[in-house]
Amino acid sequence: MNESLHTLPGLAGSGSLAAQRNRVLRNTYWLLALSMIPTVLGAWIGVSTGITATMSPGIGLIVFLGGAFAFMFAIEKTKDSATGVAVLLGFTFFMGLMLARLLSFVLGFKNGPSLIMTAFGGTSVVFLAMASLASVIKRDLSGMGKFLFVGALVIMVAGIINVFVQSSAAYLAMSVLCIGLFSAYMVYDLKRIIDGGETNYITATLAIYLDIYNVFQSLLALLGIFGGERE
């Protein structure tokens, strides 16, 4: 009786779908962990050379948006091949490089290194909490996508405007909103993998990497502003 159950098409299909989802999730986690290496390398080179610090805010914004969208376009085009992994890792190196300006600002404080570690620890806690939440939620979250996308678009436009306005209050508000928005995005993106809505681990890694990056960056900015100790 037990052996005959394994030959039923419905059960076999269900098992293969579960195996595929687990494989995508496992590969996503592995690639996500690997992507942190070029991110750290890019950040270290950026801080050491001061290359991003020499850019004006306007030029820095153009380089960031141009580079980020070019890489994401290339990732989309190569996501079904091994080249996609290399392009994704190149993207994470670029993102680390772009993080150098904020890192240099925080490292200017006496307690800068501890603030960075606190931001890293806080981001890890957020990710683990959201991953746990995604694994236990039973309802379909696909409807969240539109609202989250609109929220991200609003924050991006506000951020671009604030590069020229330079409002500290707006920057603080956007940092807080980013933490909330991209924490919700983590749940949404992970749930899509668990439910089988995302079957490409390179695309999945890109989405979750951006969630983590934005939470870390926003948390670090808040810690630097409110917890930085001058020499």
pLDDT (0 to 100) of residue 2: 44
- What letters, b where the CB count within 10 A reaches 16 and e where it falls short, cover 159-179? eeebeeeeeeeebeebbebbb
pLDDT (0 to 100) of residue 15: 59
* Cα–Cα distance, 196 to 24 (Å, whole number): 9
- What letters, b where the CB count within 10 A reaches 16 and e where it falls short, cover 82-109? eebbebbbebbbbbbbbbbbbbbbbbeb
pLDDT (0 to 100) of residue 197: 85
**pLDDT tens digits for range 19-68:** 888 888 999 999 999 999 999 999 999 999 988 878 888 888 899 999 99
Average pLDDT, the chain: 89
Give Cβ neighbours of residue 102 (< 8 Å, ≥ 6 apart).
217, 220, 221, 224
Percent of the chain residues past pLDDT 70, beyond the cut: 93
Does the structure show a pLDDT above 60 at 6? no
pLDDT (0 to 100) of residue 231: 66
- Residue in the structure block whose two tokens are 């994704």: 88
Length reported for the chain: 231
Does the structure show a pLDDT above 60 at 11? no
Closest by CA to 48, choosing from 1, 94, 103, 88, is 103
**pLDDT tens digits for range 84-128:** 999 999 999 999 999 999 999 999 999 999 999 999 999 999 999
Is residue 188 within 8 Å of residue 141, measured between CB atoms? yes
**pLDDT tens digits for range 72-94:** 999 999 999 999 999 999 999 99
* Cα–Cα distance, 110 to 113 (Å, whole number): 8
- Residue in the structure block whose two tokens are 């091949």: 81
* Cα–Cα distance, 229 to 160 (Å, whole number): 28
Domain ranges for the chain: 16-227
**pLDDT tens digits for range 133-186:** 998 998 888 889 899 999 999 999 999 999 888 888 999 999 999 999 999 999
130 versus 1: the higher-pLDDT residue is 130
* Cα–Cα distance, 131 to 127 (Å, whole number): 6
